Structures are given as structure tokens and as C-alpha cells.
């Protein structure tokens, strides 16, 4: 078995080397700077890339090398994350600040270089620093190599659709206020489609995204949830959508009226313009999995206009209720992977590491040295296995640089637990208020703990939601890897009951999983990518609160983390 794994790793390295030699170089310059835009009856200063919202779309093919020169002309330190890119042998380009690099200081620059081997479909890029993700983001589209085709019918046109979130405020200050007070951030003021808030909002009658189509054609909608804090239902009035890919992995074709996607996720659908000539709204509305938690409950919409349509009012889709968990769960669980299709990876069957990770909200203790002691108002936190993760700010190096130097002392520890410290009724809705609940269930200590994985080991993780404070559908994103989703369900995971449900034939493959509200998901991946990789909730509210951990994947016999680039930012 070990010989086979070593041979597989060596073959992949050779394949990567060949790809680097044969693929094109796709090069971009990103100028990150503050600009003034008009939205919702006011002028607002935002941080953006190349003066646009969203930022530029990166178009490439499988096997290409992407080179992006980032010039930070904004007043904020920041990094860029290439969401879903494996970064095999290029971990220094993954992007999350203090994990794989120190931030690019204001007035400085850094060049990201990475290869697109073994990946096709819709991904995206975004800032991985504070709430700057609200305006610093864009699409990253990977098409098949020349001479190769999609595993679905030829399309007439491809259209990126990015749902975003808008604040009538400085988003950095929004995040800072939430962090300092340990209270939820103020809600956003609008949702946007490709940067536009739609005619549902004040002063936005001319700010509705429009797509002009021809009758009788097939269009590929590349849908990206770029919002910071909310999942979304998506529909196009009177049209059936055919899902063909999720998170840049191909799926069996799945016809649906409604699509659901969590922050960080992407869904590719075929839209067949087989309806009467006219205008049809496409609309996003939040999926509100925790009704007691206040959110921006607004929706947003764009218009699909058939060629030759009159000025008649567009038809509106009949959207699900925002609390419609059964519809969301049906969509999330009905999708299966395209076994045997391009870049398909079978499920590894021998598991080397079993982990059971509980996650959710918790309380923080009042620390007098912070000056934040708001009396009876509780301080909120978040955790995985009762460890509230803290990025190593002020340590002088990133986690990856400490790993490369083999000197992690004072940066992180290698003792993230494989299991929760205490087993309890994780999804009991009364767990928070019960006087019998032990204190250690409710308060998570701050730490920077990672899990060390042997190179090429296979890891299976049960991701178990908890109901402490509030049960919620959480999107969990794993950097550096895709994973198979073997099963999902509600309540507490039970191996005897739930293991027989595992799909080993054609499970969906993702990089971001929406773990059901008050429920669980089981994922499995192979740790064949040396480096330090975050796994965290992709709700921007919960990331600075500590709903994260990291995997330290050891170097392999012939595959090692390369030296850092010369222009790597310093802390």
C-alpha cells in the first residue's frame, strides 16, 4: 500500500511538472485601492481591485499557470485567497493572513503564482483579511484544456453571477467594532448581483443587473456566493435549472427549480431559454436556518431579457420561505458526483485518521485587559472541539513559515483534539439555558492548535453542529483540498445508524460544505499536499470569533514545501 501511495504521489508530481511545461501563463495586475461608488442614494468609499465591483474575472484553462501581481494601494493590510485552488507545491500563494503569509502592507506588493492542474469549473478569489471580502472579490473560471470539452451539452454563452453583500459603512470598521465588542456586526444594507443592488432598493432603479438572451439557446450560469454571512436560495422565474458542477467539480445532471448555496460555494447550472419571449427575474433570497438570529432578510434580483421582449414587467419567481430548511437540505443532499468524469477522484477507502469535530457558537470570558466588559451583555465566541482558534498575530512569522523553518514554538501547538473534550447532547435546543449544563460546554478557551497529518494519510471527519446559543447551518471551508461528502443528516451523528448511508460510489466533491442546521456531515480527504491549511466557517462573522482550526500536513518523501518566494511579505 505504501509503495502504491508513493508511486501515486510521484506520478502526480510528474503530471504537475508536465502541466507547468505545457500550459499557458495567465497574468494579471491587481491594483487594490479605495474608490468612491454610488449605491443606495449615497456615495461610499470602498476598497476594490482595478476600480471595479466585483473585481476582474480570471479566465484560464486547466493546466495553466496563474500569475497575479497585487499592488496594495489601499490604506489596509490585506491578503488574497484563491478559494478552492489546491495550491499543490505553491502553499505560499494560498493567501489567508498569518496562516500561509503575512499581510501585504499598505504601499507594498506581492506576486501570487499557482497552477490549475486537475481542476475545472467555477471558483473565485477574495480578500482574506477582515471584512474586506465584502468588496475585494471576483470570479476565477477554469475551462477545459484546448481540445477537451465539458461533460454537458455545448452552451451558447457563459455568465458569472456573483451574489454579494453591501454595507452603507466602512466594512473594516464594521468588523473592528464587532471584534472589539464581541457582539454580532451590524447587518448589511443590501444584497447585490454582480455589484448591483437591484430595483428593490432606494435609488437603484437603474442599478439592476440585466442579462440579454436569445430564445432556444443554452446558457451556463456560473453562480458564486460571495456574500459574507448568509446562504441564499436562487431561482429564475418559469425556468428549470440543470446543475452540472459544484465547487469546480462535475456532477450528475440534476434538474431543479431552486438552487441553494452557502458563502464560498459555487454552483454551475444550465439555463435553457425555452420560455415565451419576455422578461424574467432571477432572484436571491437568504436561507435563514436560525430564525432567532437576526439577519438582513432582504432579497435582490436581476433580469433575464429575451431578445425581442417588450417593456412588460418581468415575471417574478415563487421563492421558498427563507426558513425552508427541507428545500435547502433536499438540494444539498440530492447532488451526486460525476464518477468517471473529468478529474474524478474515487473515494479513498482506507482511513488513517478519524476525527469528530463539534463546532458552533460559545461564550467568551470578560478579559479586563481588553477593556471590553459590557456588564450583563454576554461576549460571543465560536469554536471547534471547544477550542476557539486565534491566528498568530504579532508572532513575526506566519504558521506556514514556522512550519517551513521547523520552529513552531510560540506560533502554534500540535495538540488540536481529535474528539470533543466532553460528549453531550450536541443538538439539544435547551443546552444553553439548562442549569444542569456544565460551564465547559459554553465557554471555549482561546488557542492556536493544529492537527498534524502524515503525508498521504486519509482523513475522515464527522462535522457535528451544536445548538449552544443557536443551531445554524454553517458553511465549513477546507483550504488546500477537495473532500468527498459521504453523508449528511440532522441530530447527533450515530455511527451505527449513519455509516450504512455512506455514498462510496458517486458522492459529491466540494471544498465548502454547508453542515445542516442542528445536524452533521461526514467528509473524507487525502492529505497529499504538504503545508499548513485552514479549515474554518465561511461566515465572516464567525471566522474572527474562532470557528477555525488548521491542518499541518507533513512533507512527503519527495514532495516538500518549497522555500518561500523572495517577495513574501514580512510581518
Quick one: 255 and 374 in the same domain?
no
Quick one: 264 and 313 in the same domain?
yes
Strands 210-213 and 353-364: unpaired
Strands 446-447 and 388-389: parallel
pLDDT at 2: 39
Q: Using one digit for the tens of pLDDT, what is the confidence trace for 49-88?
A: 999 999 999 999 999 999 999 999 999 999 999 999 999 9
Cα–Cα distances in Å, from 119 out to 100, 338, 487, 524?
21, 14, 23, 18
Quick one: 316 and 438 in the same domain?
no
Domain-ending residue, one of 307, 334, 361: 334
**Does position 18 have pLDDT exceeding 80, yes or no?**
no
Query: Which residues, other chains included, contact 160 with Cβ-Cβ below 8 Å and sequence gap of 6+?
Result: 57, 122, 139, 141, 194, 222, 224
Cα–Cα distances in Å, from 451 out to 214, 389, 402, 414, 504?
52, 12, 15, 6, 25
Backbone angles phi and psi of 209, in degrees to 5: -70, 135
pLDDT band at 376 (very low <50, low <70, confident <90, very high): low
Query: Can you give the CATH number for the domain in which 111 is found?
Result: 2.60.40.420
List the 231-236 sheet strands across, edge first. Answer: 210-213, 300-306, 279-287, 231-236, 259-261
Domain-ending residue, one of 334, 362, 389: 334
Q: Is the dihedral of CA 272, 221, 541, 415 positive or negative?
A: positive
Quick one: 485 and 529 in the same domain?
yes
Quick one: 367 and 270 in the same domain?
no
Quick one: 165 and 95 in the same domain?
no
Q: Is the dihedral of CA 113, 114, 115, 116 positive or negative?
A: negative
* Mean pLDDT over each residue of the chain, to the nearest integer: 92
Quick one: 455 and 363 in the same domain?
yes
Position 1 in a domain: no
Q: Using one digit for the tens of pLDDT, what is the confidence trace for 477-495?
A: 999 999 999 999 999 999 9
pLDDT at 543: 65
Can you tell me the mean pLDDT for 507-521? 97
pLDDT at 8: 41
| Residue 203 per-residue DSSP state | T
Identify whether the C-beta of residue 256 lies closer than 8 Å to the C-beta of residue 280.
no
Can you tell me the mean pLDDT for 258-276? 98
Q: Whole-angstrom Cα distance, residue 208 to residue 196? A: 6
Position 115 in a domain: yes
pLDDT at 12: 45
The more confident residue out of 571 and 240 is 240
Position 129 in a domain: yes
pLDDT band at 368 (very low <50, low <70, confident <90, very high): very low
pLDDT at 292: 79
Position 13 in a domain: no
Can you tell me the mean pLDDT for 519-547? 90
Q: Using one digit for the tens of pLDDT, what is the confidence trace for 404-430?
A: 999 999 999 999 999 998 888 999 988
| Domain housing 186 | 155-334
Quick one: 404 and 258 in the same domain?
no
pLDDT at 7: 39
Q: Is the dihedral of CA 380, 382, 385, 390 positive or negative?
A: negative
Give the number of domains in the chain.
3
Closest C-alpha among 130, 198, 251, 221 to residue 506: 251
Q: Provide, rounded to the nearest whole percent, the portion of the chain with pLDDT above 70.
A: 93
Q: Provide, rounded to the nearest whole percent, the portion of the chain with pLDDT above 90.
A: 79
**Does position 112 have pLDDT exceeding 70, yes or no?**
yes
Quick one: 134 and 226 in the same domain?
no
Quick one: 95 and 241 in the same domain?
no
SS (H, E, C) 460-502: EEEEEECCCCCCCCEEEEECCCCEEEEEEEECCCCHHHHHHHC
Q: Using one digit for the tens of pLDDT, what is the confidence trace for 166-221?
A: 999 999 999 988 878 777 889 999 999 999 999 999 999 888 999 999 999 999 99
Position 483 in a domain: yes
Position 566 in a domain: no
Position 417 in a domain: yes
Position 497 in a domain: yes
The more confident residue out of 521 and 381 is 521
Q: Using one digit for the tens of pLDDT, what is the confidence trace for 397-409?
A: 999 999 999 999 9
Quick one: 163 and 90 in the same domain?
no
pLDDT band at 432 (very low <50, low <70, confident <90, very high): confident
pLDDT at 80: 98
pLDDT at 286: 97
Closest C-alpha among 140, 298, 273, 299 to residue 211: 273
Backbone angles phi and psi of 197, in degrees to 5: -85, -15
User: What's the whole-model pTM score?
Assistant: 0.94
Quick one: 120 and 51 in the same domain?
yes
Amino acid at each position: 500500500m505504501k509503495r502504491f501511495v508513493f508511486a501515486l504521489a510521484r506520478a502526480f508530481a510528474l503530471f504537475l511538472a508536465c502541466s507547468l511545461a505545457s500550459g499557458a501563463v495567465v497574468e494579471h495586475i491587481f491594483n487594490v485601492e479605495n474608490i468612491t461608488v454610488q449605491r443606495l442614494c449615497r456615495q461610499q468609499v470602498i476598497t476594490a481591485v482595478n476600480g471595479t465591483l466585483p473585481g476582474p474575472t480570471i479566465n484560464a484553462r486547466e493546466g495553466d499557470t496563474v500569475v497575479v501581481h497585487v499592488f496594495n494601494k489601499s490604506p489596509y493590510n490585506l491578503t488574497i485567497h484563491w478559494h478552492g485552488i489546491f495550491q499543490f507545491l505553491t502553499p505560499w500563494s494560498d493567501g489567508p493572513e498569518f496562516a500561509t503569509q503575512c499581510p501585504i502592507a499598505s504601499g507594498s506588493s506581492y506576486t501570487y503564482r499557482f497552477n490549475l492542474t486537475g481542476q475545472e469549473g467555477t471558483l473565485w478569489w477574495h480578500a482574506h483579511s477582515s471584512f474586506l471580502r465584502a468588496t475585494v472579490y471576483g470570479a476565477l473560471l477554469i475551462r477545459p484544456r484546448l481540445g477537451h470539452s465539458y461533460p454537458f451539452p455545448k452552451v451558447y454563452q457563459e455568465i458569472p453571477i456573483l451574489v454579494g453583500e453591501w454595507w452603507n459603512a466602512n466594512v473594516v470598521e464594521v468588523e473592528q467594532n464587532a471584534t472589539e465588542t464581541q457582539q454580532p456586526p451590524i447587518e448589511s444594507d443590501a444584497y447585490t448581483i454582480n455589484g448591483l443592488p437591484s430595483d428593490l432598493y432606494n435609488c437603484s432603479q437603474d442599478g439592476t443587473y440585466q442579462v440579454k438572451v436569445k430564445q432556444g439557446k443554452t446558457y451556463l450560469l456560473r453562480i458564486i456566493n460571495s456574500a459574507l454571512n448568509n446562504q441564499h436560495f436562487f431561482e429564475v422565474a418559469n425556468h428549470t435549472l440543470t446543475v452540472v458542477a459544484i465547487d469546480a467539480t462535475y456532477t450528475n445532471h440534476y434538474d431543479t427549480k431552486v438552487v441553494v448555496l452557502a458563502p464560498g460555494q459555487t454552483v454551475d447550472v444550465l439555463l435553457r431559454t425555452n420560455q415565451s419571449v419576455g422578461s424574467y427575474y432571477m432572484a436571491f433570497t437568504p436561507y435563514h436556518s436560525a430564525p432567532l438570529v437576526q439577519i438582513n432578510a432582504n432579497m435582490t434580483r436581476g433580469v433575464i431579457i429575451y431578445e425581442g421582449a417588450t417593456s412588460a414587467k418581468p415575471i417574478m419567481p415563487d421563492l421558498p420561505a427563507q426558513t425552508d430548511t427541507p428545500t435547502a437540505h433536499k438540494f444539498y443532499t440530492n447532488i451526486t458526483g460525476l464518477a468517471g468524469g473529468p478529474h474524478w477522484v474515487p473515494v479513498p477507502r482506507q482511513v488513517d485518521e478519524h476525527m469528530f469535530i463539534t463546532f458552533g457558537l460559545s461564550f467568551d470570558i470578560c478579559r479586563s485587559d481588553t477593556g471590553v466588559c459590557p456588564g450583563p451583555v454576554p461576549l460571543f465566541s465560536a469554536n471547534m472541539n471547544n477550542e476557539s482558534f486565534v491566528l498568530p498575530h504579532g508572532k513575526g512569522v506566519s504558521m506556514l513559515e514556522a512550519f517551513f523553518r521547523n520552529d513552531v514554538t510560540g506560533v502554534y501547538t500540535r495538540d488540536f483534539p481529535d474528539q470533543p473534550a466532553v460528549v453531550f447532547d450536541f443538538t439539544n435546543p435547551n443546552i444553553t439555558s439548562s442549569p444542569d449544563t456544565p460551564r465547559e460546554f459554553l465557554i471555549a478557551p482561546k488557542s492556536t492548535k493544529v492537527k498534524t497529518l502524515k503525508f498521504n494519510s486519509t482523513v475522515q471527519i464527522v462535522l457535528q453542529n451544536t445548538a449552544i446559543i443557536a443551531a445554524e447551518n454553517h458553511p465549513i471551508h477546507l483550504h488546500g483540498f477537495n473532500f468527498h461528502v459521504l453523508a449528511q443528516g440532522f441530530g447527533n451523528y450515530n455511527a451505527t445508524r449513519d455509516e450504512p448511508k455512506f455514498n462510496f460510489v458517486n458522492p459529491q466533491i466540494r471544498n465548502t460544505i454547508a453542515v445542516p442546521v442542528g445536524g452533521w456531515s461526514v467528509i473524507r480527504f487525502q492529505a497529499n499536499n504538504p503545508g499548513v491549511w485552514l479549515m474554518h466557517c465561511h461566515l465572516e462573522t464567525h471566522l474572527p470569533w474562532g470557528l477555525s482550526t488548521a491542518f499541518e500536513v507533513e512533507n512527503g518523501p519527495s514532495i516538500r514545501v518549497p522555500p518561500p518566494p523572495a517577495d513574501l511579505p514580512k510581518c
